Structure 1
Amino acid sequence: MQSSANIMTIDAIDEKLIAALRENGRASTAELARRVGRSRTTVQSRIERLERSGVIVGYTARLAPDHAHGAVRVHVMIKIGPKEARAVEAALRAIPQVRLLHSVSGDYDMIAIAATATVAQMDEVLDRIGHVAGVERTTSSIILSTKFDR
């Protein structure tokens, strides 16, 4: 993984530790040590090293999907015109219902995740995304359920 200053090698124990922290960032060092099969001191040292190197940049609360994302969530695949990426990104950043934006390869250039409380609100957000200057085409899919979220 890359930090702003250097490249850090992540081993299998680090991967297990990161996965355990993603599941429960408030787990005690003793619980994390049990999960990864190492001593508490070793786990604490690894966490500190991962934080210092910029691999772990913070901790956050995870909310239930309906509270965190809204009741209606949608993936929006976005095709943009040549040299329009920065302008489209800035316009999408200004739409608060757009929660994530990925630059991707393939038939589409970006994938946005949008969330609203109602289908009617989502319809308005999708229209707004479609009218952004530089957006040539969108295709959206409503998320019916999340099978897991790491």
Structure 2
Amino acid sequence: MDETDRHLLARLGEDARTPVATLARDLGLARSTVQARLERLERNGVIAGYALRLGDAVRAGQIRATVLLSLDPRATPAVVKRLDRMPEVEAAHTASGRADLVLTLAAPTTAALDRTLDVIGEIDGIKGSETLIHLSTKIQRSG
């Protein structure tokens, strides 16, 4: 990956829907060159996909939380499978330290978040949890 690829990725990070012709003009390259670079970046796994990123108008109506889970190590695959079926779970990351799994949750109300936490707490293999409610976002980077 060279400097041109990094500039291309930065432009896509701003707006992944930018037409290839516009990217080519902005980067001073031929459209076919930009298209070939995008295909190579996709093929090599640098670009894993193009996704919808919800704006503040939608996110503002959500109560968000980070949940730290301690797990029975043998139960991790089953716990992750169960969490994957819960729409309130936006992300799940394995971690080192006192937590085995770190979740990001979003729910429309505190009551819905509380119900979600109750369901998570009942999953076999979870030994303990700690929930941190997000109050405000000070920095949000994409990518």
* Fold conserved between structures, TM > 0.5: yes
Map 1:64-75 to 2 at 5 A. 64-67=55-58, 71-75=62-66
CA positional deviation for 1:14 = 2.0
CA positional deviation for 1:98 = 1.0
The secondary structure found in structure 1 opposite 2:136 is: coil
The secondary structure found in structure 1 opposite 2:124 is: coil
Aligned residue for 1:135?
126
TM-score, reference length from structure 1: 0.79
Query: Quick one: structure 1 residues 76 and 44, their matched pair in 2 at CA, closer, same or farther if it must change by over 3 Å?
Result: same
Aligned residue for 1:114?
105
Give the alignment's Cα RMSD to 1 decimal.
Answer: 2.3
Q: Which runs of 5+ in 2 are unaligned?
A: none
Runs of 4 or more off by more than 4 Å in structure 1? none
Aligned residue for 2:29?
39
Q: Distance in 2 between matches of 1:19 and 1:66?
A: 24
Aligned residue for 2:68?
77
Aligned residue for 2:86?
95
Is residue 48 from structure 1 mapped to residue 54 from structure 2 by the alignment?
no
Please point out which of 138, 146, 149 is paired with 2:141: 149
The secondary structure found in structure 2 opposite 1:83 is: helix
**What amino acid does structure 1 have at the position aligned with 2:63?**
V
**What amino acid does structure 1 have at the position aligned with 2:114?**
D
Aligned residue for 1:5?
none
CA positional deviation for 1:33 = 4.0
TM-score, reference length from structure 2: 0.82
Q: Residue by residue, what CA displacement relative to the aligned partner does 1:98-128 show, whole Å, maximum 9, x if unpaired? A: 1211111221111111111001110111121
Size of the aligned set, in residue pairs, is 140
CA positional deviation for 1:19 = 2.6
Q: Residue by residue, what CA displacement relative to the aligned partner does 1:63-93 show, whole Å, maximum 9, x if unpaired? A: 2145369511111111101311111111211
Q: Which runs of 5+ in 1 are unaligned?
A: 1-9
